[in-house]
Chains A and B, each alone.
Chain A
């Protein structure tokens, strides 16, 4: 299954949904967008999880300077150049402008404004305290009202609760996938595909899990095992291939496409018919301590999380994990403390490669060399 296949399948899927009369809501994917609300409204959430190349990045420079996050540049480029495999972007009915980071705001705003896609707003606080939770509720109510206006009726609490349950189940399966021992590139493709199709992909996930459980675990792959943290690897990116060509295998995706997304499960016991389901989404926001949006404790939490992943894996397999911290150039959240993340983990005996890059083809050779050198050190 290659990226083109995934995109082509997804294109057909979206067309079918549109024919059923569903509206498609796009957004630059991040961990605090309440996709359950979109689902409960009867709409299809379209997560922008597509990587770029030189052409896409260059195409964004009419709108933003080149010193902007390469992912944001590419997302704009997709709308500007409209490569044929991304024709499904024409099916978007609305685009959410959100503030995961300021590049998210700028890119989403540009996509909405210059490519004539009506805009919805959803902003979140940077800190986590009682008031930011209250503010989060204001935004949830506001988004709910925006969605209700589009659909012309209220979103019943029952429907939202069902969506929460559905997404919970979806995330649990994804979590299982992330914990399976398989080739990293394969795992990544499964998760990427799942994020496009959403809970409609649950059955496929269950089938994959079953197949892998029947196979003998561990020692199938003779490689240097890695955890990938930092920025996600998006669809159409070659990075994971470079890692595997250099003899590495990403066994755990500690990125939004991976653990950040799938670990955000709401405790089923809390999903009570008598309670306001919006409070469940707020609870999830509150518990999302590993997301890179929040301040001021992101670095501490991230280090403790990677340490835990490292030690758990060592306990389970006897193998040491290396860490690749993937930094998309000009990413505010991941880049600024990357040197400190590396230093602090290395002090704990964990090897880290801070891999900064954009999507230009010219970088490929240099990236390979850096990854190969890191693999030799492991």
Chain B
């Protein structure tokens, strides 16, 4: 649970993003059954192409589940329908400031609940993935994603599959065909290296996928719709980067650092499908940035100048969510920025290409070549670049059990950290949420001693 979740209440945008993340099921049911839209499963931040088709809705599959939504978040949502979000959150803030203890206590629970609820579901899906035949060898992310498709895959028309350097990922995507009544698969092969006319080939591969999506959608592809979406997507990326690079690196935070980390977790989760509505997500991201800046201007928040910035990465495939609270208790502030480490927060270069598909191909190829990298040398450079950009003073590396791709390069990374950054680092092993909290505490305790 969050340590000072009441901070959040003054960020109505975070409440909205959190609510949209958790209430996806109702939203998606409405889209599917009432508006006759078709759901397309996506994972990792690869949903953009789907937004080129207004009657297709991208969904990160965990969002199809029913979550136990905190009753106050539900009330907030209902109230917002009538009064608007901003007024509702101001009202709650007022209630809290009056010292009505129950309201205060409940408010504190809200954001912690969001994170806990999502993580409980992840664990449930992890177990389901194993029960359904995924061997224990595989990483937390793959096991839980498989579980998500076992339980909710029947609701989607197709899965949009991008090949990346991780062979387990590519094979996992194929393995979705083993689920009963599998969804159609639409593949986009990203060439491993940018050589020769690889960009042209990737552009053609995306066009092939577009043809498939046209068949599913029943409508023709319209490049203006995709271009407009990419503009929205670029704005989202810009706001995300503002939070990462302007706000998280500053000495004064608009809230408690543990809460700030939780906001970064929510963004990390929700960025994968923009909570199935990119424009709404963009608007919320803009509000979030404005609210944060306003609070900083008004000196509402916390001086964090004495708290070392600890980059915790990679966490998208699974990590112990208590980490940031532990780091906070030990005097630090945890930063999560995986998507930018992989260069997936770069702008889609629509201004440089008349064809938006070609621009997207360039974006993907750039992420593959320079972000994810086709080897660990490039990948470790990405960790170093990110740590430098965030002015990280320490790095916690998540060594995810069963990950053979993104989190197995610590030996090489450690060498580069020593050579290029000269900051302390530590590797934490991770298998399943909640399994190893005590060990994480002990290890982080020893690690944070280095900053005293």
A299 touches B401 (CB 8 A): no
Tell me how far the C-beta of A186 lies from the nearest C-beta in chain B, rounded to whole angstroms: 32
CB neighbours (8 Å) of B124 from chain A are: none
Is residue A366 contacting chain B, with contact meaning CB distance below 8 A?
no
User: Given the complex of chains A and B, what is the CA–CA distance between A336 and B169 in angstroms?
Assistant: 10
User: Which B residues, 245 to 264, have Cβ-Cβ distances below 8 Å to chain A?
Assistant: none
CB neighbours (8 Å) of B208 from chain A are: 129, 131
Residue of B nearest to A337 (CB): B175
User: Which A residues, 31 to 58, have Cβ-Cβ distances below 8 Å to chain B?
Assistant: none
User: Which A residues, 304 to 338, have Cβ-Cβ distances below 8 Å to chain B?
Assistant: 329-333, 335-338
B178 touches A299 (CB 8 A): yes
Is residue B374 contacting chain A, with contact meaning CB distance below 8 A?
yes
Across the interface, A336 reaches (CB within 8 A) one of B138, B191, B374, namely B138
Is residue A216 contacting chain B, with contact meaning CB distance below 8 A?
no
Is residue A127 contacting chain B, with contact meaning CB distance below 8 A?
yes
Since A106-B404, A336-B172 are in contact, a sample of 6 more A-B pairs with Cβ atoms closer than 8 Å, ordered by chain A residue number, is A101-B167, A123-B374, A126-B189, A129-B205, A138-B197, A332-B404
Q: List 9 A-B pairs, minimum CB-CB distance, nearest first.
A: A339-B133, A123-B192, A101-B167, A138-B196, A332-B168, A126-B163, A127-B189, A295-B174, A332-B167
A340 touches B399 (CB 8 A): no
Tell me how far the C-beta of A330 lies from the nearest C-beta in chain B, rounded to whole angstroms: 5
Residue of B nearest to A344 (CB): B178
CB neighbours (8 Å) of B412 from chain A are: 63, 110, 113
Residue numbers of A with Cβ under 8 A of B are 62-65, 67-69, 97, 99-103, 105-106, 109-110, 113, 121, 123-127, 129, 131-132, 134-135, 138-139, 141-142, 293, 295-299, 329-333, 335-340, 343, 356
Tell me how far the C-beta of A327 lies from the nearest C-beta in chain B, rounded to whole angstroms: 8
Q: How many residues of B contact A (CB 8 A)?
A: 50
A99 touches B192 (CB 8 A): yes
Ordered by A's residue number, 12 sampled pairs between the chains whose C-beta atoms are within 8 Å are A65-B399, A68-B404, A99-B165, A101-B404, A103-B167, A126-B189, A135-B201, A296-B174, A329-B137, A332-B171, A333-B167, A340-B175
B175 touches A336 (CB 8 A): yes
**Known A99-B192, A125-B189; contact A109-B404, beta-carbon cutoff 8 A:** no
**Known A103-B404, A340-B133; contact A125-B173, beta-carbon cutoff 8 A:** no
Tell me how far the C-beta of A290 lies from the nearest C-beta in chain B, rounded to whole angstroms: 14
Is residue B98 contacting chain A, with contact meaning CB distance below 8 A?
no
B376 touches A105 (CB 8 A): yes
A135 touches B198 (CB 8 A): yes
User: Given the complex of chains A and B, what is the CA–CA distance between A337 and B134 in angstroms?
Assistant: 7
Residue of B nearest to A127 (CB): B189
Is residue B135 contacting chain A, with contact meaning CB distance below 8 A?
yes
B201 touches A131 (CB 8 A): yes
A333 touches B171 (CB 8 A): yes
A105 touches B170 (CB 8 A): no
